[in-house]
Structure 1
Amino acid sequence: MNVTNVLFCNYIDSSTGYAFTFGGGDKMDSVYTFAATSTSIVKGIMHERCTTAAFICYTCLVSGFHLSGCVLLGAIRQWLAQRSKGFERTSFAGSGSIHSLAGSASFAAAYMAGPRHDRFENDGKINDIPLHSIPQAFLGSFFFVLGMLAFNTDYRIDLLQNEGDGIAVAKVAVNTGWNFEVGLNGSFIGMIIICVGCNQYQKWAALVVGILIDDPVGGLGGQMGGGFFYLVFVALFKDDGVFLQPSLTSANVLLINTVGGITIMIWAAGTMVLIYIVLRYFKLHRVSLSDEKIGLDEDEVVNKQPAYRSEDVLECQNEYMRLVT
């Protein structure tokens, strides 16, 4: 089991770095969620193989250094925009500085740490690992989507505004099959899509952007790829974007968004690689094979506390440990 380990890490992963980035506490509530989002994305992708030492290192890096750098880049961008006839990078609610940054850092960390045991066969075949709990996955996804609607798209949720829209949606609902896991991941991707330009998309443009990207895997594709490509899409599909109003201004927004997204990805991935080079040298980058098989709730130094205490679960854990040893 790895439940206690995940809960512990998610509980403390935003406790470092806020003061370096924002100083005063007048924006604590909203920016706290930004720090928690960035660090928890990395933790989720490093699930079941990350040591506590590695977790502490990259949490300090992401929330205390990465976000501070992106805030600095944002300040420079605003300064340049005032001197370049209004040309500026467009990202309404952190698609680049949160999702693309965290996804790039996650990519570097996952590559340096290596895959989980038995995740890939020698011939390259991928072994699917089922969800720990469908109801808990639903609950987390529901909270995520609800929170994103609250701080991000509260005034852009009027999708059914024309006659016949409801009939079209109903026909799709009753004539297609639904996969719950894919649906949960789709909701994540959709919220990251709208994050960058929810204040600038028309309804049809938001729908087209959602169709262009289909990533049922989540994780790296949704965060790193999603965060970057949606920086590009907002420059294409917003009201004064390249598709609707082609001009030098819209082309410059596309260029600046693209360069800004690439810069964030290089910034996040490069610094994460440096951290993991040090962790690998001291053999702190991932847990042992036996710990990974048994679960971090039992063998991690910090936890050693199972999440479920029923006799049946404990009996299964003891039997599994006996077989492993």
Structure 2
Amino acid sequence: MALSAGGSLYAQTMEDWETIRVGLDTVWVLLAAFLVFFMQAGFGMVEAGFIRAKNTANILTKNFLDFCMASIAFFILGYGLMFGNGNGFIGFSGFFMIGAESGADVPLYAFWLFQAAFVGAAATIVAGGMAERMKFPAYLIYSFIVSALVYPVIGHWVWGGGWLAELNFADFAGSAVVHTTGGVAALVGTIILGPRTGKYRSDGKPNVLGSHNIPIAALGVFILWFGWFGFNPGSSLGVGDGSLIALVAINTNLAAAAGAIGAMITVWIKVGKPDLSLIMNGALAGLVAITAPCAFVSPVSAIVIGGIGGFLVVVATLGLDDLKIDDPVGAFPVHGVNGMWGAISVGLFGRQSLGLAGDGLLFGGGFSQLGIQLLGTVTIAVFVFISMGIVFLVLKKTIGLRVSAMEEYRGLDIGEHGVESYNGFQIIE
């Protein structure tokens, strides 16, 4: 009887501890989801600060509705395509969350909310790249499509047990899944949309269409940096013994700092001034770049990855102007270029001792993991470019993609929404 009672007590104690563990993991995942949601405010402030005052309400409305459209689209269709039972390309179950299963050892709704916050982040990246001249109805349609179809398909490949997951493609928190998707969509969108009126002179040189509020943009960057501590560490989907989330957190912070410094040095050399807007984008570039490898690299490697990201964002920003591609906030240089760099960097700096399938090239692992990372990254970029190119071209030919020249001149706040962001101030071009 005593032995029986002792065994029963032990089993009961283990059940209690398991309940506590699941509860703690659930709180952690929900807290991370709340932080990622708060990043929407960061995106809104960065984009609003970097554009002209007459379009502020428009860009904030797009940021606001992005999360709304993403939430509904991901609930209806996206989650099922991403995490439902299916094949290596797409899921076929769990639509409207009926019969859906959690992709982690936490309750389904906690896992869903965390993933939905990621969808919103991917969708809102495009707003900045196509800012100041895109029709609002066309943007809403884009936002629903990317959240319901394009993003979930890519997510299934990598995180839903799809073909890239089977190849051991590693993207811990979404450099490829989230940021390459959003950044490349912004690139193809702004190419099809064309540059803002007055952006380029007849000799091809760019004019400065100035940021209207750098302090707001700076606040946005700090909010995003803060939110990234949910974005990356939260992708552990559990607390464990704390060692993984601690590694991810320090790597996230170091890469952001190195990205800002790398961008500062690069722009100072190239244009003779340490431009604050590019320094801020350098911090974001470092954050984007470390998002894929944050769990698989050492802090020293994180500094190198982030520093290179800061260099790349400046070079890419100046390169877009050379090509007359008008990206008002640097959406593609920050998210597209560095999303791809971050995913590829796993194959260079990753360590098997930190959970990667094999060591990266720079640590004696050969080209195996690097080849997988290159394949996955290029495939995702091409898929987004083609699929979103089709979407934007169809929108252009049907309801129209761009506002009229007069509406662009007056500002989208008045033309699209009938409001002014700064009542009582006359906006002079």
Same fold by TM-score greater than 0.5: yes
* 8 A Cα contact 1:101 1:268, kept in partner: yes
Counterpart in the other structure of 1:187: 283
CA deviation map 1:261-311 (0-9, x unaligned)? 1111111111111122222223611011111111001011xx11111123x
Q: 1:158–1:6: structure 2 CA closer, same or farther, 3 Å change rule?
A: closer
Structure with bigger helix share is 2
Residues 193 and 227 in structure 1, CA contact (< 8 A), matched pair in contact too: yes
2:136 aligned to which of 44, 52, 59: 52
Q: Counterpart of 2:387?
A: 271
C-alpha spacing 1:147/1:134, structure 2 compared with 1 (3 Å) = same
* Between 144-153 and 193-202, the greater mean CA deviation after superposition: 144-153
2:354 paired residue number:
none
Matched, 1:246 2:365: yes
- 1:9 matched to 2:62? The reply is yes
Supply the distance in 2 between the matched residues of 1:293 and 1:80 (Cα, whole angstroms). Answer: 46
Out of 278, 284, 287, the position equivalent to 2:400 is 284
Question: Does 2:342 correspond to 1:230?
Answer: yes
CA distance in 1: counterparts of 2:223 and 2:113, whole angstroms = 16
Q: Deviations over 1:101-133 (max 9, x none)?
A: 111111111111111101111211011222120
Structure 1 stretches of 4+ with a deviation exceeding 6 A read: none
Query: TM-score, with normalisation over the residues of structure 1?
Result: 0.83
Q: Which residue does 1:166 correspond to in 2?
A: none
AA of the residue aligned to 2:226: L
Query: Any idea what SS the aligned residue of 2:401 has?
Result: coil
Q: Which runs of 5+ in 2 are unaligned?
A: 1-53, 80-96, 98-107, 234-244, 252-260, 318-329, 352-358
> In structure 2, what is the equivalent of residue 162 of structure 1?
none
Listed one character per residue, the Cα deviations across residues 134-180 of structure 1 (whole Å, up to 9, x for unaligned) are 11101111110001023315523558xxxxxxxxx9xx99xx98542
Structure 1 pair 141–58 and aligned structure 2 pair: CA distance change class (3 A): same
| Cα distance change on mapping 1:81 and 1:305 into 2, 3 Å | closer
Query: Which residue does 1:18 correspond to in 2?
Result: 74
Gap change, CA 1:79 and 1:298, over 3 Å in 2? closer
Q: 122, 125, 142: which one pairs with 2:222?
A: 142
Equivalent of 1:305, from 419, 423, 426? 419
The amino acid of 2:364's aligned partner reads Q
Is 1:221 the equivalent of 2:333? yes
Q: Kindly state the Cα deviation for residue 246 of structure 1 after the two structures are TM-superposed.
A: 2.3
1:155 aligned counterpart, secondary structure? helix
Equivalent residue of 1:102, what SS? helix
- The residue number in structure 1 matching 2:102 is none
Letter in 2 for 1:48: E
Distance in 2 (alpha carbons) for counterparts of 1:111 and 1:219: 13
Q: How many residues align?
A: 293
Match of 2:418, as an amino acid?
K
Q: How does 1:23-34 map to 2 (within 5 A)?
A: 23=97, 25-34=109-118
Identity %: 26
Q: Cα distance 1:81–1:152, how it changes in 2: closer, same or farther (>3 A)?
A: closer
Counterparts of 1:288 and 1:139, CA distance in 2:
32
Q: Which runs of 5+ in 1 are unaligned?
A: 160-168
Among 178, 187, 207, the alignment partner of 1:98 is 178
Asked if 1:155 corresponds to 2:235, the answer is no
The one-letter amino acid of 1:296's match is L
TM value normalised by structure 2: 0.64
From 406, 409, 417, the counterpart of 1:293: 409
CA distance in 2, matches of 1:111, 1:117: 14
Contact (CA 8 Å) 2:286, 2:307: kept in 1 or not? no
Q: Which has the higher contact order (CA 8 A, sep 6+)?
A: 1
